[in-house]
Structure 1
Amino acid sequence: MTPEQLSTAIVDVLTTLSTEGAITLPDGVPTTVTVERPRQKGHGDYATNVALQLGKKAGLNPRAFAELVQQRLEQVDGVAAVEIAGPGFLNITVAAGAQGVVAARIVEAGAAYGANDAFAGEKVNLEFVSANPTGPIHIGGVRWAAVGDALGRIFEMSGASVTREYYFNDHGSQIDRFSSSLLAAARHEPAPEDGYGGQYIHDIAAAVLTERPDALEAEDPQEVFRAVGVDMMFGEIKKSLHDFGVDFDVFFHEDELHKSGAVERAVARLRELGNIYEKDGATWLATEKFGDDKDRVVIKSDGQGAYLSGDLAYYLDKRERGFDRCLIMLGADHHGYVARMMAMCAAFGDEPGVNLEILIGQMVNLLRDGQPMRMSKRAGTVVTIDDLVGAIGVDAGRYALARYSSDVNIDLDLELWARATNDNPVYYVQYAHARTCRMVENAADLGMELAGAVASFDPALLSHEREGDLLRALAEFPRVVTAAAELRAPHRVARYLEDLAAVFNKWYDTRECRMLPQGDEPVAPINQARLVLTVAAQTVLANGLGLLGVSAPERM
């Protein structure tokens, strides 16, 4: 019996009590109630504080309210006992058979286990990384690659239609500095004072000359290096991301906003809404009335668009493409940018935090031998995606960056994440999955097949304490996925997987819970039941790793 099923059962009990007049709830019966695993052993399999939440609203002492719920809930199939604790907590013990059913349901659902409808029918635009095409992706952008792609997978498992989008900043002064740096390298001259350094600049400059041997003799050499070099740099960025397991559905070119008239259309829309005005020869957006600290210039007095003009056009373009939610992931240095973006959203008549949401990611420090890595051999100034993958691999890199809440700084010890030992979190989880695969193979060698095990499955046989712990942990997965989507927190999946692997290993190490018959013992129903439980654990570990974009190896 899962937490969701218990929640439904409690809602049904409340509905019955309300219909019979035993309780009166002014706000009506809630559609769901919170059911959680208790923190202390001996407090049942699950607990709920529904009596504390609703007792006073119903004009009853919480314990008296709890007694009414207890009497009815104990009559529900699959509930073995209900105890009242403290001021009105309800501790629920589930019957072994009802709890064991979870294993068969997981096996039946397979890759779909964990799916939910929290965002069913919603179109989500997820914009992340969006690094300037002026150099390799640095470690901060790599964090967003891991977190953003994982969040997209989690949204999809929660029912949303997700478009992963990369905003290609190919308009502005940074591109001019990049192309002038390439030109200087091709001429064997020092980089401009405000230009870009690093070996990659010389590599791309040489590649441009290979493709366009006449580049230095062209009428406008810098334009050649701009056109060809930016495309080459962006090709390298795409390849690095693809090799990291991150692919985008849309690469949106900033330059198109300014060429297509999208900025003018956005200004016109805002003018219709009464949120644009003219002052000092410039065009302003009235953002202060929507919570910004001051109004913002959109079109400068010289007729050139201010930086915000592109944001206006880009946001409107996304909404016109039919996206319900536009999520943008930005680095810590953009924190001060949030208020004006939310004001812009409100100026369009939309709801900040719903139609537009901005997630801020904090810094990442890579440590080697306890000391920070500060320089890339190729980029010269920053640590890049290729440096990380070269040091610890794709799986460890993705898992390590998604394992922490994005709003905290993290220090990654490269030596730790490269180890093939259980103190490396990703190895620990992956090894648990590989162990389940080996167990299933060993069972097959004895003639135990999953189809037969499922057909003869008796959930009541999974009655050992360790089996109860594992079943409850497996039943939590759908709620973990839902919470990860609602809170934009892929790290919850990673931490859950580590806890699940620990619970599985304790079950595996318990002599009384051996899956395979020993010696000349025949295959018994309990062995078949434990095979189903093993495959259920295998399924959840694989599904969870898949949400993080990390492989689930069969052998290690």
Structure 2
Amino acid sequence: MTPVELSRTVLHAVRRAVDEGELSVTVPARAVVEPPGPGGWGDYATNIALQLARPAGQPPLLVAEVLRPYLAGADGVTGVQITGPGFLNIALDGAASVGLVQRILREGLRYGHSDALAGQVVQLHCPHEVRAVVVADAAARILRSQGALVRTSCTARPEPEWESVLGVRVDAYGGPDAPAPLDAHGGSDAPAPVDVVTVRPVPAPTDPLPLGRDAARWALLQPAAHDRPRINADHLVQREGNPLFRVRYAHARSRAVTRNAADLGFAADPGRVPDAAHVEALLADHPRILTAAARDRAPDRLARHLVTVADAALALLPAVLPCGEEKPSAAHRARLALAEAAGTVLAGGLALLGIDAPDHL
């Protein structure tokens, strides 16, 4: 069960309590679910009882007690406990997380790709400016991952270095009505575009080319379109303060633990990983992030998501391999599978941003 699905389950529990006359509230549009904090329990926690206490005219603990049996009986939920002032802590069936990891390892770099935007034809038109061209290129990659047919155009031909160094591709030059629409294979049999989008982020303050392809693209893509990008050597440093380094390092470390596990004679085997709900939630959310980034033409959303996944993975990785004379166990194999899944999501996301994900750093 993904966080989005669990949020719907929580809202359904509220709706059932209202229908049964146990609560007198308006069912909210959204229920926040997140990994439990200190002193919590289970896989996720929600503050829905605290949110509804005032409109219900009841103490949060009482609201939580009302909602608890409705949540406990939901499919995929194995237990519900109340902690603190009224937080509902929820344990899920471990089969869901196992299935998630199996799916990621099976689909590989295409995990999160979908037909969510199939049938849409989008033209991304940008001015002759390096950041605009790179953002349009990355947005096109993400849109195509969601099944859209995409063409890109620029008011003038990009500089040769933008193509050779930054790896951008522009389908046509001139006005937004100049090129013929493209089909998924680069042909010209697709229907006329139905959505012409002008890509005009805040321009780069200086030339990003000295940073090289990967760092330059990250510098241009990671900030939101309305933010001014920083073009400096900070994107090249090999330290934790550099988000791009953390993403690529987490991917490289996930590959390293696979090699080290092979040396120790064991391989990944998806299973239940206690205290890893945060990592699993982020991986489960990856398809939604890709679809949202495609719809909003916002590669920065994917970049920020990758940083969050990397930080969660880096916290998991030290526990993957046995320590000292410890023998590999089912828990080590399950953690290795989760680490490999996280590395796969990082590599796939970087590829959509046009950035390399090396196995060694």
CA contact (8 A) 1:14 1:69 kept: yes
User: Is the 2:155–2:174 Cα contact (8 Å) retained in structure 1?
Assistant: yes
Q: Summarize the Cα distance change of 1:255–1:125 in structure 2 as closer, same or farther, 3 Å threshold.
A: closer
Counterpart AA for 2:321: M
Q: Which amino acid aligns with 1:458?
A: G
In structure 2, what is the Cα distance between the partners aligned to 1:68 and 1:117?
40
- SS at 1:410's partner residue? coil
| Aligned-residue offset at 1:20 | 5.5
Once the two structures are superposed, residues 469-499 of structure 1 have per-residue CA deviations (whole angstroms, 9 ceiling, x without a partner) of 4333433433433443444432232222223
Q: Distance in 2 between matches of 1:256 and 1:469?
A: 46
Matched residue, 2:144? 156
| Letter aligned with residue 242 of structure 2 | N
Structure 1 gaps of 5+ residues are: 132-140, 170-233, 258-319, 331-360, 367-382
Query: Residues 119 and 14 from structure 1, CA distance in 2 versus in 1: closer, same or farther, beyond 3 angstroms?
Result: farther
Shift of 1:3: 0.2
In the aligned structure 1, how far is the partner of 2:357 from the partner of 2:92?
32
Please state if 1:424 is matched with 2:238.
Answer: no
- Cross-structure match for 1:10: 10
Larger Rg over CA atoms: 1
Summarize the Cα distance change of 1:39–1:152 in structure 2 as closer, same or farther, 3 Å threshold. Answer: farther
CA distance in 2, matches of 1:55, 1:122: 44
Aligned-partner residue type, residue 89 of structure 2: I
Q: CA deviation at 1:246?
A: 1.8
Counterpart of 1:478 in structure 2 is 287
SS at match of 1:412: coil
Distance in structure 2 (CA, Å) of the matches to 1:365 and 1:240: 16
In 2, the alpha carbon distance for the partners of 1:256 and 1:153 equals: 21
- Given that 1:517 and 1:524 are in contact with CA atoms closer than 8 Å, whether structure 2 keeps it comes out as no
Contact 1:123–1:325, Cα closer than 8 Å, also in 2: yes
Displacement of 1:535 in angstroms is 0.9
Aligned with residue 446 of structure 1, among 264, 274, 282: 264
In structure 1, how many angstroms separate the alpha carbons of the residues matched to 2:35 and 2:330?
31
- Tell me which of 156, 167, 175 is aligned to 1:245: 167
Identity of aligned residues (%): 30
Match of 2:271 among 458, 461, 466: 458
For residues 256 and 427 of structure 1, the distance between their equivalents in structure 2, rounded to whole angstroms, comes to 40
Mapped to 1, the partners of 2:143 and 2:311 lie a distance apart of 26
Residues 65, 420 of structure 1: CA spacing in aligned structure 2 closer, same or farther, 3 A cutoff?
closer
Contact 2:34 2:45 in 1 (8 A): yes
For 2:124 and 2:159, the matched residues in 1 are separated by 18
1:546–1:552: 8 Å Cα contact kept in structure 2? yes
**Retained in 2: the 8 A contact 1:152–1:164?**
yes
Of 73, 82, 103 in structure 2, the residue corresponding to residue 75 of structure 1 is: 73
Write the deviation string for residues 394-438 of structure 1: whole angstroms up to 9, x where unpaired. 01111111111110223322x222323333322221121111111
Secondary structure at the aligned position of 2:231 is classed as: strand
What pairs up with 1:239-388 in 2 under 5 angstroms?
Answer: 240-241=162-163, 243-248=165-170, 250-254=171-175, 321-330=191-200, 361-366=201-206, 383=207, 388=208
Give, in angstroms, the shift of residue 24 of structure 1: 8.2
Q: The residue matched to 1:166 in structure 2 has which SS?
A: strand
**Does 2:311 align with 1:506?**
no
How far is the alpha carbon of 1:321 from its aligned partner?
A: 4.9
Quote the offset at 1:83 in angstroms.
3.1
The Cα RMSD (Å) is: 3.6
Cα deviation digits, residues 141-198 of structure 1 (max 9, x gap) = 22123322222233334x34141321445xxxxxxxxxxxxxxxxxxxxxxxxxxxxx
Change in CA separation of 1:552 and 1:482 when aligned onto 2, cut-off 3 Å? same
| TM-score with structure 1 setting the length | 0.53
Q: Is the 8 A contact 1:124 1:325 kept in 2?
A: yes
Alpha carbons 1:100, 1:471 under 8 Å: kept: yes
Change (3 A) 1:155 1:91: farther
Deviations 1:283-310 (A, max 9, x none): xxxxxxxxxxxxxxxxxxxxxxxxxxxx
Aligned twin of 1:200: none
Counterpart-to-counterpart distance in 1, 2:202 and 2:221 = 12
Which residue identity does 1:7 align to in structure 2?
Answer: S
